[in-house]
Amino acid sequence: MLPKELRESLKDHIANIDHPRELAVDVMFTLQDHYGYLSDEAVKEAAELLEMTPLEVDEIATFYTFVYREPVGKYVIHVCDSVICWMDGYESIKDCLCTKLAINVGETTADGLFTLLPVCCIGYCDMSPAMLINRKVYGHLNPEKIDSILEKLKAEA
Amino acid sequence: MKYPQILLQNRKPDRIATLEEYRQSGGYQALADILEKYSYKDVQEEILESRLLGRGGAAFPAGTKLMSVADDASFPRYIVCNADEMEPGTFKDRVLIHADPHMIIEGIIIAGYAVTAEKGIIFIRPEYESGAKILEREIDIARQSGYLGKNILDSDYALDIVVHRSAGRYICGEVTAQLSALMGKRPNPKQPPPYPTERGVWGMPTVLSNVETFACIPHIINNGPDWFKSLAKTETGAGTKIFCVSGKVKRPGFYELPIGTRLSEIIEEHAGGMRAGSEFKACLPGGASTQFLPKELYDIEMDFDPLREAGSRLGTGAIMVFDHKTCLVAATLNLIEFFARESCGWCTPCREGLPYIRDILWRIENGEGEEEFMPMLERMSKHLWSAYCAFAPGAISPLQGLLAHFKDEVLEHISQRKCPFK
Amino acid sequence: MSKLIIDDREIEVSPGTKVIEAAAQLGIMIPRFCYHPALGSVGACRVCAVKFIQGPFKGVQMSCMIDAQDGMVVSTTDEDVADFRRHVIEWLMLHHPHDCPVCDEGGHCLLQDMTVSGGHGIRRYLGKKRTYTDQFLGPLLQHEMNRCIHCYRCSRFYQEYSGYRDLGAMQSANRTYFGRFTDGILESPFSGNLSDICPTGVYTDKPSRYFGRRWDYQRSPSLCINCSLGCHTVASIKYREVKRQEARFSEPVNGYFICDRGRYGFFYSSLESRPRMARINGKQCTFNQAQHAMIEKLEEIKKNSGSAAIAAVGSLRSSLETLVMLAQLCQTKRWRDPACFIDSSQVQNVKTAISRLEPQLRVSLRDIERADFILAVGADPINEAPMLALAMRQAQRNGATIVVIDPRPVSLPFPFLYLPAAPMALSAYLGSLIKAVVNRGTADKMGDGARKFYDRIPEGKKLAEAQPPLSSEMLQSLQQSRRPIIVCGTEILSETVLSLSADFALLLQAAEKQAGLFYLMPGANAFAGGILSGEKDSFLQIIEQIEDGSIRALISVEADPFWWFDDRPRLERALDKIDLLVVLDYLDSQAAQRANIFIPTATFYESGGMLINQEGRVQVAPRALLGGIPISQAGGGDHPPRLYDVGIAGFDPKAAWLTLADLANGAAQEDEKALQQHLWKQISDLIPQLATFSSIDEIPQEGIVCSCGVNIDSRFSINWSAASNIRHDSGDDFDLIEVDWTFGTEELSSLSPCLWKLERKPCLVMHSGRAEIIGLTDVDLVEISTETGSLEAELRTADNMAPGILVLPRHRKLAWQIFTPGKIRIRKDQIRKKQ
Ligand SMILES: Cc1cc2nc3c(=O)[nH]c(=O)nc-3n(C[C@H](O)[C@H](O)[C@H](O)COP(=O)(O)O)c2cc1C
Ligand code: SF4
Ligand code: FES
């Protein structure tokens, strides 16, 4: 269940807009941040808040890349695999991440910290190869840099 | 060559320009002027006169779009700023947001005034969360300074802007898909009629333009359409363009240059030339959904018309440079992979045709190519132009460029039963 | 008109016609998947591509997306487009499981047809196939997502067309998935249409799964008798049973679709418990023995007590032939006139409706779709006649305002304005609506009667008492409307409201609006029952006369009073009292079980016949099968034993009217043709519009709308002072209204096992405020006691209903027959909470 405060603030927000559905993505993001991912439960809650049906929420939730309908780690790493990053070494960056995290693409580390997902061009081609972690960008990647980024995040976790 | 910096004039290496800095460079003067002296029609005419073409890729005349909102169209009307920018290779909108957000905001307000819009929405991709935060903050500041809200600068005009976060899909950049996304619906494109300017967001007249398009507008008002046209190097062009250069060049980055600047100049002078040991082989001139330009067109003027004549498009002006060591079959495979994944799934050619093409290309790249694949690729590419929206024609453009200019490279893959670059 | 050339042939079509339709008019079937005439064009599948050679469009374009225009030259055979279409089909087949041999769609699959006709025969794709996990969608439809070609027809029909919100498209790109949020029963009572519109086998009919290919079935046009709309269906028969039913296109009635009650409401026809043999006092006998016994017994009673001691009861699910024959039988035998209705108010309501259905007022379901304002009074579309709701949905999608004035908590799959009015207040509302939108001058145009009527509409004060008030939105949209339609139920209203609705529609016409009137009726052949019944002929009257001893024998023809008579104990006492109960039926009803003489009859599928729907449309269904015990039952699940016998097992039942004809003639009749001719004469005498036809076979498919019974003199004749006498809700008691639900209350469809899972739990519905006052809450188990008996049910509370009302569904699982027929009032102390 969503904490009352969060629920109320979402309700407020929704009440103050002409068309609640406009907030569908915002509400999904908020619930996702709260639960870690958009669980079935969360879809139902979002539906109720937005006066939509769970199916209607799921119709859009499953459409988008950044809505996670399955559990993910605390940090979601989106490595860019589009053409410029690919040319500048996406494969080795991905392999490096897989080795360091001991997971395959699409998986979450055993400690629940990291999930590794490839993603389409993230708009940082001038800093290729690049990745996003929880929507923050890291560019000009190389193995050492990846090491320090992961270490830092582990320490913060 | 150094050229006047218009859109990037206030750009700082390490931070965004403040409202004060924007004002000092003449910011919000255009808004004050139009509110005082211009009718909404005047604004439309100035912009039409300036020949500003949409910078989002489709090159539609901005003035014409504003004028297509009928005088008696219903209210409220919406103005939408497309900051989805998911075209691979493109990051100009990101740069503009991080350089001088008020320029965009002012552009939106002026365009909003030109169609009497009440609500502005900036639709931004989730990868640009930092940009979204900046915009939210600066919109607030603009509101506090009287540029937004009721009675803007004590006039009768009222407009507010909200930032709408997307959850990430390339198709959301397409106008009609974006409008559906805004309404919390599946972002499948919708063929007009009705046009968004008749019935867009919530069935109301909506004008949607790209970030860079909006950023040009204050300068057109301040300096006049003739000045804007004079910025271009080509006869028919107008304005400057932010070229995003990426790939095998020494200095990947963004360069504001006159429209019509030659490709060779952009690569050699501004992007520092090719990387050591790299030779220019080809580039995609306007993002992933344009055709490869081969070496023969290295000198082309980077403007809408010349590129169209060369069979490609200026698109978003994102120049992706490939060198002689890069396998263009593999590069195209990567691009097709992108498009196959991002297809919205509405129409058959795009939804099923692209994965099919991906499969064929994958086989060619991985030594399983057959000669009979060639006519298949050619036919299917042609047929993808009969898809529902512009996504599929864009998606197939690199492959068509590959087949037009680098057919031998593909055939070599097939005859050698391996990738010659591996 | 636009003139264009398609494949070198010229055609002229009306403006707005799509090229794909224009081609169809030339007999050219351009392939299509996403396009459907009812759902419109969306251009998703791209298989309808044609080449535009001249005119405003050029090159390869979708023929479903472009209006035919003057000067167009179009080719469907051009090499380019043919190749494009071939590719589209190849793409659509990439992931198809190629499971046609085990797919129920096989044989009537659009994808199969297009794959073959499109010229895609050889698989070139070397990649892997995508697979999906299917969902459980309930008892009616089987889900097989791997067969999906992503035409989006299902989600468009489900959400946009019908307004339900639990099935749609999820995921994106080539992972796009059509289904529900989670496994579960589809909420839409129109879900069965998915199996008709899906161009491949993603949604197939579950009850008939694996039973046969389309070509294995005898397919016959038929009509739905599960409500008064009379939708057109196709019945599919195999091994002597109806196994599947689909929608049949009917321009004026149901369009392309039918509801699930109708689609799956046929199972009664082949129930194992269906009586196939005649019985005398419970003992099986031959048909002839029973018939003899019946004739003899009736003679005897006539001799002892006179003809008037014999009464007959018919029902609204019988064919027109049977009802006419029954009426004729009673007349020639000088029995009492037959009763088809429960009580006099039911007859009167139906008769009033019939008398007011003037040709210029009555509208079809299709007209409803085109209305721009619909006022539903005392009608609960989804529950009483689901397809009406679907038609109203189309109007609403096109911008119509829908207003519902009804005491029940009406719900519809789209937004509408609702006034929870007590039945007594309905005429007051109508009066004030009339006053608000029609001025006196307009009324004056309609003559003296209309003006007087108008002047007598009670003014302000009386109307103000009606709560809640009409909203200005309602009034405004009615004022602005150009094609308003009044929809009016006949079940819970008084005759006055029915009349008033018609008067209102007349006045709207006088106000230059294209107004229309649409009544719902209490059964499939209620219209026919209405024209054949006298004002007072009701079953209640029969009961009273049994009680006073004047009736000694009762013949019940395809009627089961146990199902619909309000007072069960009284019914039982009455039946105990008579000397003879003869029952003719195809159901194993309670009446049939009690009958002294029982004679089985043929179902509507086996006899065919005529029905008059609520609009007055005389429609014909041919006989769809001969009858007989289904093979599956004859063989006990195995191959049936070979019996060296003549005829078909269980073949005795014949159309009820034939048995009645035998009875009328005193002996079995040989010459069926002659009987038919005789009957046709009777029917065409009754319905003058049929006089131009020489036999039933000439009646066109869309039927003939008749105006028999129309009585212009009844215009503007209501008694205002009585009508506007609003009884104040004292808060102490309730008006109980018995209602229909989509599933579980209608006699025939209630016998379909596949629909049982869709039934709502039986309950009593009370206004939540009122419930609170008497100390009851939602889902309490309550008991209602009357002098007659008591009834237990769950209580459900609702905010959106008239407070003084208690709603009771005539649910098959509820022994609700404990009331005195007529208006039922329940005091609050009659309702008690059970532990
Ligand atoms: C598949 C597809 C993706 C697009 N993505 C973007 C985008 O990310 N940003 C953008 O500004 N325009 C994008 N466009 C172009 C828009 O449809 C539209 O033409 C443009 O935003 C209008 O703005 P403009 O007139 O200022 O160029 C895309 C078009 C297509 C067909
Ligand atoms: S081409 Fe078709 S499937 Fe592709 S994005 Fe456009 S509409 Fe969607
Ligand atoms: S029928 Fe025209 S695109 Fe599907």
Cα–Cα–Cα angle for C544, C744, C605, rounded to 5 degrees:
85
pLDDT of residue B388: 98
A50–B contact, CB cutoff 8 A: yes
Architecture of domain B240-323: Roll (3.10)
Q: What's the whole-number mean pLDDT along residues A35-45? A: 97
3-state secondary structure chain B: CCCCCCCCCCCCCCCCCCHHHHHHCCCCHHHHHHHHHCCHHHHHHHHHHCCCECCCCCCCEHHHHHHCCCCCCCCCCEEEEEECCCCCCCCHHHHHHHHCHHHHHHHHHHHHHHCCCCEEEEEECHHHHHHHHHHHHHHHHHHHCCCCECCHHHCCCCEEEEEEECCCCHHHHCHHHHHHHHCCCCCCCCCCCCCCCCCCHHHCCEEEEEHHHHHHHHHHHHHCHHHHHHCCCCCCCCCEEEEEEEECECCCEEEEEECCCEHHHHHHHHCCCECCCCCEEEEECCCCCCCCEEHHHCCCECCHHHHHHCCCCCCCCEEEEEECCCCHHHHHHHHHHHHHHHCCCCCHHHHHHHHHHHHHHHHHHCCCCCCCHHHHHHHHHHHHCCCCCCHHHHHHHHHHHHHHHCHHHHHHHHHHCCCCCC
Please indicate if any CB of chain B lies within 8 Å of the CB of A137: yes
Q: Does domain B19-230 have CATH number 3.40.50.11540?
A: yes
Nearest to B386 among C49, C94, C149 (CB): C49
Spans of all domains in chain A: 4-63, 75-156
Out of 1.10.3470, 1.10.357, 3.30.70, 1.10.10, select the CATH number for domain A4-63: 1.10.10
Q: Has residue C171 got a pLDDT over 80?
A: yes
Would you call C44 and B346 a contact, using CB atoms and an 8 Å cutoff? yes
**pLDDT tens, B281-309?**
999 999 999 999 999 999 999 999 999 99
Segment C62-105, tens digit of pLDDT: 999 999 999 999 999 999 999 999 999 999 999 999 999 999 99
Domain A75-156, classified CATH 3.40.30.10, yes or no:
yes
What is the number of the ligand 1 atom nearest to the C-alpha of B55?
27
Topology of domain C278-341+527-645+653-663+670-693, CATH = Rossmann fold (3.40.50)
- Stretch C584-609: mean pLDDT, rounded? 97
CB-CB under 8 Å, C181 with A63: no
Beta-sheet pairing, C790-798 with C781-785? antiparallel
Touching B: C residues 19-58, CB under 8 Å:
43-47, 49
Dump pLDDT digits (tens) for C776-809.
999 999 999 999 999 999 999 999 999 999 999 9
CATH 3.40.50.740 placement within chain C: 278-341+527-645+653-663+670-693
- Please report which confidence band the pLDDT of residue C145 belongs to, taking 50, 70 and 90 as the band edges: very high
What percent of chain C is predicted at pLDDT more than 90? 90
Q: What are phi and psi of B414, to 5 degrees?
A: -75, -45
Residue range(s) of every CATH 1.20.1440.230 domain in chain B: 328-416
Residues of chain C with pLDDT > 70: what percent?
98
Query: d(Cα C641, Cα C635) in Å, to the nearest integer?
Result: 6
Cα distance from A64 to chain C (closest Cα, Å)? 8
Chain A contact partners (≥3 CB pairs within 8 A): B, C
The H-or-E segment that residue C500 falls in is helix C495-510
- pLDDT confidence of residue C463: 54
Which chain A residues touch B166 with a CB distance below 8 Å?
25, 64
Min Cα distance C145 → chain A (Å) is: 16
> Per residue in C460-473, pLDDT tens?
555 555 567 888 99
Question: Does the CB of B407 have a partner CB in chain C at under 8 Å?
Answer: no
Q: What is the mean pLDDT of chain A?
A: 96
Instruction: Tell whether B191 lies on the interface with C, counting CB pairs under 8 A.
Output: yes
Contact call for A21 and B185, based on CB within 8 A: yes
Domain with CATH 3.40.50.11540 in chain B: 19-230
Instruction: Please report, for residues B247, B287, B359, the alpha-carbon distance to residue B394 in angstroms, rounded to integers and kept in the order given.
Output: 20, 9, 19
**Amino acid symbol at C509:** Q
Q: Which two tokens stand for residue B223?
A: 């300096």
pLDDT band at C724 (very low <50, low <70, confident <90, very high): low
pLDDT of res. C551:
97
- CB B421 near ligand 1, within 6 Å: no
Instruction: Give the pLDDT mean for C195-222.
Output: 96
- Residue C461 has a pLDDT of 53
pLDDT digits (tens, 9 = 90+) for C808-819: 999 999 999 999
* B389, B396, B397: residue to mutate for ligand 2 pocket, most atoms within 8 A of CB: B389
Q: Which of B172, B339, B347, B382 to mutate to test the interface with C (most CBs of C within 10 A)?
A: B347
Mean pLDDT of C125-141: 97
In chain C, CATH 3.40.228.10 covers: 347-521
In this prediction, the residues of chain B whose per-residue pLDDT falls under 70 are: none
Give the whole-angstrom CA distance, residue C597 versus residue C123: 66
Mean pLDDT, all residues of chain B: 97
Give the separation between CA C557 and CA C656, rounded to whole angstroms. 7
Ligand 3 neighbour C34 (Cβ under 6 A): yes
The answer to whether C744 and C762 have CB atoms below 8 angstroms apart is yes
Rounded mean pLDDT of chain C?
95
Indicate if ligand 1 lies below 6 Å from the C-beta of B171.
Answer: yes
Q: What is the pLDDT of residue C648?
A: 79
Tell me whether residues C87 and B359 touch, CB distance under 8 A: no
pLDDT (mean) for C54-58: 96
For the CA of B389, the nearest atom of ligand 1 = 31
Which amino acid type is present at position B69? Answer: V
**Cβ atoms of B126 and A66 closer than 8 Å:** yes
Best mutation target among A117, A124, A125, A137 (most B Cβ atoms within 10 Å) is A125
pLDDT in tens, C525-556: 999 999 999 988 999 999 999 999 999 999 99
Q: How far is the CA of B56 from the centre of ligand 1 (A)?
A: 4
pLDDT, average across residues C480-508: 96
pLDDT of residue B54: 97
Distance C488 CA to ligand 1 centre (A): 51
C428 — pLDDT class (breaks 50, 70, 90): confident
Contacts of A55 in chain C (CB under 8 A): 165-168, 170, 180-181
Chain C residues touching residue B374 (CB < 8 angstroms): none
Q: In angstroms, what is the span from residue A24 Cα to ligand 2's centroid?
A: 23
Topology agreement, domain A4-63 and domain A75-156: no
Tell me the best of B78, B94, B96, B175 to mutate to test the pocket of ligand 1, counting ligand atoms within 8 Å of each CB and taking the most. B175
Quote the tokens at residue C151. Answer: 């035409």
When scoring A21, A28, A55, A58 by the number of chain C Cβ atoms within 10 A, the one with the most, hence best to mutate, is A55
Contact A126 B253 (CB under 8 A): yes
Inter-residue contact B10 to B100 (CB < 8 Å): yes
Please say whether the beta carbons of C578 and C336 come within 8 A.
no
pTM over 0.90: yes
Task: Give the contacts of A107 (CB within 8 A, at least 6 positions apart).
Answer: A115, A116
The H or E element spanning position C301 is helix C287-305
Which pLDDT score, from 0 to 100, does residue C722 have? Answer: 74
Nearest to C173 among B191, B342, B386 (CB): B342
Closest CA to C223 of C210, C235, C214, C232: C232
C729-834, what's its fold? Barwin-like endoglucanases (2.40.40)
**Which residues are paired to C654 by β-bridges?**
C601
Distance between Cα A66 and ligand 1 center (Å): 20
* Nearest by CB: C168 against A40, A43, A59: A59
| Parts of chain B belonging to CATH 3.10.20.600 | 240-323
- Which CATH class for the C2-92 domain? alpha beta
Q: Quote the distance between the C-alpha of residue C703 and its chain's center.
A: 16
CATH of domain C347-521: 3.40.228.10
User: A25 and B170 in contact by Cβ < 8 A?
Assistant: no
Q: List the structure tokens of A20.
A: 């609640």
Check whether domain B328-416 has CATH 1.20.1440.230, yes or no: yes
